[in-house]
Structure 1
Amino acid sequence: MSPRPDVSDARKKQIIDAAINVFNRAGFKDARMEDIVKEAGISKGLVYWYYKSKEELIIAITDHLFGEEFNRMEQADDPSIPPRECLTRYFDLYVIDLAGMLAFSPIIYELYALAFRNATVKKVMRGYLERFIRSVEPIIQRGIDAGEFNTVNARQASIAFGSQIEGTLLLWAYAPDSMVVEKQLQEGISMLIKSLIQEETEDAK
């Protein structure tokens, strides 16, 4: 007899997808575990087997939303290509993923607000900030070391890129009709990359 397939990952995804739909509609505060059970279409006991509370589900959703995105973006880091091209590829992947992420904007911004009040969520969100910095900083540092980029603090420059993204998305959330968010992000990122480029001196010409 062949072994039974492991369905735990599929069940977790089923529950997370249901929780995302419920949280998107009702928000974290008003959503109930019973609503998630109904949305998932499985038994209450099975939902609680995997996730004991809304907080556990919120952490799982954070990993689901940000973890997969970072996994794809980090694949763009290729030390064999020029740092400028590598950095451009990295953020191009972010913009490509953005369309899918915008559908979850209510949840994402509620996560940011929740991080001010919930130490566990704050720790998780801080972890993803550090992961972003760790993935961008080496690319910038390679550009500095190769003389392609100006001599800057690579960590601070990485944070500047993150601030560009978060600031643009926050403005879009308030006034979505004021911009095409993908184009605005591409323009802002392009300006930051250009600001890193080492200008050719007269002696080098």
Structure 2
Amino acid sequence: MTENRDVAERRAQILDAAAAVFGRKGLHTAVMADIVAESGLSKGGLYWHFSSKDDIVAGLLQRFFEEHVGAVESIVRAPGPAAPRLRELGSRAVTDLTEFDGSRDLALEFYGLAARRTDVRELLRTYYHRYRELIAALLDQGNEAGEFRVADSADTAMTVIAQFEGLALVRSIAPDSVDLAAQVEHFLTTVIAAADTSPSGDD
């Protein structure tokens, strides 16, 4: 158990260092030597955990997904009406996505890496599947409580994911053209209004 904890701590140390370097120098300018220096580890120590910069980017991707899915699971399991929790989910997505502000090319690189590597593509597929399940579960809770009338929660969940991902990609390319928080709020307001069962359509 101690050995596993040490490995996890070293990997986290390297990923933290890589995130700092990518934010400061840019993903494509940074080299492994920069990450070695930032981490305080030896070159051999770093390469024992990650054999390439692509491996480190994949590690950052996996960590981001695990943290984000964990937060979404907590929102879905929380008590209370579904609409405020759907907005909270949107706020969490905005918070997590803005963590990449220092290195927006990471978002694009994730997709490029998925095109090159089967393991990363499978990681993305697994993440989207779980994310879709969680959002659909939240919509189903709203349906069961009589709060929503969503005909197909899985399809609606995928629409929500596509909107979030699309905004993130546009923001990576043209950051000044997207107010992420405002756009997510506008989209979720539209979704909630369309799904609302109250006569006035207000949530």
Same fold (TM over 0.5): yes
Are 1:130 and 2:129 counterparts?
yes
Distance 1:119 1:90 in 2: 29
Task: Report the residue type matching 1:93 in the other structure.
Answer: R
> Residue in 2 aligned with 1:91?
90
In structure 2, stretches of 5+ residues that fail to align are none
Deviations 1:87-146 (A, max 9, x none): 222222223344323334211211112212221111111111112112111111122233
Structure 1 residues 49 and 171 mapped into 2: Cα distance closer, same or farther (>3 Å)? closer
Task: Report the residue type matching 1:193 in the other structure.
Answer: I
1:11-30, aligned counterparts within 5 Å?
11-24=10-23, 25-27=25-27
Task: Report the residue type matching 2:85 in the other structure.
Answer: C
Deviations 1:51-87 (A, max 9, x none): 2333432321112222212212321123631222222
Asked whether the equivalents of residues 16 and 57 of structure 1 are also in contact (C-alpha less than 8 Å), the reply is yes
Task: Report the residue type matching 1:10 in the other structure.
Answer: E
> Residue in 1 aligned with 2:151?
152
Give the share of equivalent positions with the same residue, in percent: 27
Deviates more, 1:142-151 or 1:152-161: 142-151
Rg (Cα) greater in structure: 1
Deviates more, 1:44-53 or 1:149-158: 44-53
> Residue in 2 aligned with 1:119?
118
TM-score, normalised with respect to structure 1:
0.81
Distance 1:150 1:52 in 2: 49
- Looking at secondary structure, tell me which structure has more helix per residue: 2
Distance 2:135 2:197 in 1: 18
CA RMSD of aligned residues (A): 2.6
Distance 1:79 1:41 in 2: 40
Distance 2:16 2:102 in 1: 13
Task: Report the residue type matching 1:168 in the other structure.
Answer: L
Counting matched residue pairs gives 197
